[in-house]
Amino acid sequence: MSLKQQPVSYQTALNNIKNKPRCGFAFAALVTYKELNLSSDLLHKISSEKSDDKERNITYQLNSKVVTAVVSNAETKQLSEPVMFVFRHVEERAESEGVAYSCVYWDDTEGAWSEEGCVGAWSNSTHTVCYWSHFSSFAVLMALYPVQDSFDLVLITQVDLALSLVCLFLCILTFKFCHSIQGTRTSIHLHLSICLFIADLVFLCGISSTLRYNEVACAIVAGLLHFFFLSAFCWMLLEGVQLYRMVVLVFHTTLKHLHMYLVGYGVPLVIVIISAIAFPKGYGTKRLCWLSLDRYFILSFFAPVCIIVILNGFVFIITVWKLAKKFSSLNPDLSKLNQIRSFTVTAVAQLCVLGGTWIFGFFLFQEKGTEVMLYLFIILNTLQGALIFILHCLLSKPVRMEYYSLFVRMCPHKKKAKYRISTSQTNSSQKPLRSDGSTAESQM
């Protein structure tokens, strides 16, 4: 805030007072109250007295020690020149869209903090400078404003997540009803798509239902997101293990469904239950229905994710190394090895997108999450559903043939073309695909 006159320091103002003709002596004192905190009742009184602040859910917090300035001169209500006070913030927090600092003094007549007499102020993340035209008990009051997402961000979030939900829904239908690709690997993709679909749906509908509206509902939303996102990573770990078994082991290359369910759903459930028992208030924040940053509760999600990503990366490295050795052998089964290699490439791409999403998601859910992080998180989150649909459905020849067959059945006028193609492909392409592709897929 610009000043009409050049401010002077406290010592200069004191000298001006002392230079005035008087008898006797003069004194000055600064008293700091280290343990004085603003009571919750008084904070509620400040916010409730301002109807606009109450409607906008603005909260106030004392962010400096209270300092009382006293001089012997009784006439200190209107100084000829302003006095500068520099306050150090108790909580270091830069002034931004959601935070504002105010220089206030304690008004005994009103029984509240007041800004009257502050002729200038300036703040950064650590200090606030106040210029006062009188002496009293001073402090810095921090106003916390609820951060409102812009219309563009809300629209992009809804559109992109809706697109991801459509792609994941198509993946679920394909993996469930496409008979030519049924197998262990397809089952893993099915449950991975289901977990991401439910997580994205809950994220879209309930991430903004903060504690201010419904504490229980917000905690449930955070718990569901915690469970299903962890479950998605566990199913990706299972895919890496399955690919490793296909390359390294000759026999018994399939995983039992019971074991997959215990890892894919049991491990995340145990983590969520332990986390909820250890810190039940960690589910839900004032800003988002997600895991709290208090007591490092957020690590109950990011620590397992980091472990899974590292394990999967290690498994993929060994898988690629074993594949290279098999390709260089004397009599390699090229058709099967090429198929496994393509499976490995798609699995690595899938891991990179999902893991990369939560690298930006980690910064997004911090208190200082930026719009750039939000854009990157939304884009990568959208790519999850689209990538799974492209890699495992559109780029799969058996799936494309199933899509074409469905399209022909829905369009009767295309039957002749269908019969021509099917008769030419039955003897050439479909039969080898059954002997090679389905056998490998059934082992997955």
pLDDT at 138 over 90: no
Q: Where are the domains of the chain?
A: 10-144, 151-442
| pLDDT band for position 332 (cuts 50, 70, 90) | low
What would the pLDDT profile of 302-322 be if each residue is shown by its tens digit?
899 989 988 888 888 887 787
Query: Range with the lowest mean pLDDT among 91-105, 115-129, 184-198?
Result: 91-105
Q: Tokens in use for 421?
A: 């193609």
What was the pLDDT predicted at 263? 95
* Cβ neighbours for 136, distance < 8 A, ≥ 6 positions apart: 68, 69, 105, 106, 117
Each residue of 377-418: pLDDT tens digit? 777 776 788 888 988 888 888 888 888 888 888 876 655 444
pLDDT on residue 4? 37
Which of the four pLDDT bands, split at 50, 70 and 90, describes residue 424? very low
What would the mean pLDDT of 86-109 be, rounded to a whole number? Answer: 78
Q: Radius of gyration of the chain from Cα atoms?
A: 33
The confidence band for 6, taking pLDDT boundaries of 50, 70 and 90, is: very low
Quote the mean pLDDT of the chain.
75
pLDDT-based confidence at residue 428 (cuts at 50, 70, 90): very low
pLDDT digits (tens, 9 = 90+) for 58-94: 677 787 888 887 777 666 777 778 888 888 888 877 6
Structure confidence at residue 241 (pLDDT)? 86
Whole-number pLDDT of residue 8: 44
Mean pLDDT value across residues 415-438: 42
Q: What is the pLDDT of residue 26?
A: 64
pTM here is 0.63
Which CATH superfamily hosts domain 151-442? Rhodopsin 7-helix transmembrane proteins (1.20.1070.10)
Q: Which CATH number fits the domain 10-144, given the four candidates 3.40.50.720, 3.40.630.30, 2.60.220.50, 3.40.50.1820? A: 2.60.220.50
